[in-house]
Copies of this chain bind each other. A is one copy, B any other.
Amino acid sequence: MATQKCGSHSFQLSQPPFITGWASVAGKKESQGPLGKAFDKTSKDPYFGEKTWEQAEKRTQELALETLLKKTGLAMSEVDLVLSGDLLNQCIGSSFSLRNTGIPHLGLYGACSTMAESLLMASMVVGGGFADRVVAMTSSHFASSERQYRFPLGYGGQRTPTAQWTVTGSGAALVCAKGKGPRIESCTVGTVTDLGIKDANNMGAAMAPAAHDTICAHFRDLGANPDQYDRIITGDLGQFGKELLIELCQRDGVSIGGKLEDCGSLIFDNTKQDVHAGGSGCGCSAVVLCSVLLEKLRTGQWKKILFCGTGALLSPTSTQQGLPIPGVCHAVCITNGGI
């Protein structure tokens, strides 16, 4: 078999898989933001009809998968594999959403980088000829995250200026060997980067070094430069992390300032929605990708983007034990498929 490997952290798909469909499900606050109208389904009920925040998050994944299948005209039994994960302890949003569906499932954990991680893995599974139709999916929920990582909502804790707001929502994308739509051309796998940041309310700063590392590796491995991309879009660095990333890349002579967008900055209107440094959570980059980003590629408004999922690999336990926050970033280069 011919190698699809290129450079030390990246691979190129010899037959780039197609993203033939996508779906997004989001909560009330997200529906009131600048991208509100772009989501397939939104709910005013933060419980999404369930009894607990965790089951609400699970429900967003069920809805995202159902909507994706409806939009693409596929039956559950026609999906070869779901690659998914989430932020909840033991990823119960993902596993419980797939109970008894009969769809083969491989669980992932990449914190907020999960949408990029699942897409990257889906491109390997499809590009390697192991499956024809693979769903990449993830979710997060504001209330389940606050309870698990910070304080119970009823406590009314004060938020710091660098804090981000966990997005409630789920995104799912269908990656296929054949079809029509944006294509995954190459991917760069991230390394676990730890520069000693310890402030769990400043995740952007913890993730920016990982994003810098992966983005520079991508350009190096592919022999590419930012000018060849319409946009470089990070997951959820927020305002502060984004500025830090531009600075870190600048030091290496890689100028991404004019091309950089961040899903955490796109999803909310910070002047009106009081989200401090922006959105975050696995669901943040998932719902932005599976709505406006893929749509702009589909319509040809963009020809090529670098989608960079960023994750902070902390746990409440590691933070309580005084450990720093390692970060990771996985990058997926998506083209419009030559339309």
Q: Please tell me if the beta carbons of B90 and A54 are within 8 angstroms of each other in the complex.
A: no
Give the interface of A toward B (CB within 8 A). Answer: 1-5, 8-9, 11, 14-15, 51-52, 54-55, 80-81, 85, 87-92, 94-96, 98-111, 117, 120-121, 124-125, 127-132, 148, 189-194, 313-318, 321, 323, 326, 328, 330
Q: Please tell me if the beta carbons of A109 and B108 are within 8 angstroms of each other in the complex.
A: yes
B1, B92, B110, B321: which contacts A317 (Cβ < 8 A)? B92
B5, B101, B129, B189: which contacts A4 (Cβ < 8 A)? B129
Residues of B within 8 A of A94 (CB): 109
Q: Please tell me if the beta carbons of B55 and A321 are within 8 angstroms of each other in the complex.
A: yes
A-B contact pairs, 6 of them (CB 8 A): A4-B130, A5-B129, A91-B313, A94-B109, A105-B192, A148-B317
Q: How far is the CA of A124 from the CA of B81 in the complex (A)?
A: 13
Q: Please tell me if the beta carbons of A131 and B55 are within 8 angstroms of each other in the complex.
A: no
B104, B117, B321, B326: which contacts A95 (Cβ < 8 A)? B326
Known: A92-B315, A192-B100. A3 touches B129 (CB 8 A): yes
Q: Please tell me if the beta carbons of A191 and B326 are within 8 angstroms of each other in the complex.
A: no
Residues of B within 8 A of A3 (CB): 129-130, 132
Residues of B within 8 A of A11 (CB): 130-131
Residue of B nearest to A100 (CB): B194
Q: How far is the CA of A5 from the CA of B107 in the complex (A)?
A: 20
Known: A88-B317, A326-B95. A104 touches B9 (CB 8 A): yes
Residues of B within 8 A of A14 (CB): 1
Residue of B nearest to A51 (CB): B321
Known: A98-B191, A192-B98, A192-B99. A88 touches B128 (CB 8 A): no
Residues of B within 8 A of A89 (CB): 89-90, 315-317
Q: Please tell me if the beta carbons of A92 and B130 are within 8 angstroms of each other in the complex.
A: no
Q: How far is the CA of A103 from the CA of B64 in the complex (A)?
A: 33
Residue of B nearest to A113 (CB): B107
Residue of B nearest to A15 (CB): B1
Q: Please tell me if the beta carbons of B131 and A5 are within 8 angstroms of each other in the complex.
A: yes
Known: A5-B131, A105-B190; 11 extra A-B contacts, CB below 8 A, are A3-B130, A4-B129, A11-B130, A54-B318, A94-B109, A96-B313, A96-B318, A99-B194, A107-B328, A124-B130, A128-B130
Residues of B within 8 A of A131 (CB): 5, 11
Q: How far is the CA of A2 from the CA of B108 in the complex (A)?
A: 27
Count chain B CB atoms within 10 A of each CB in A9, A11, A95, A120 and give the residue with the most: A95
Residue of B nearest to A3 (CB): B129
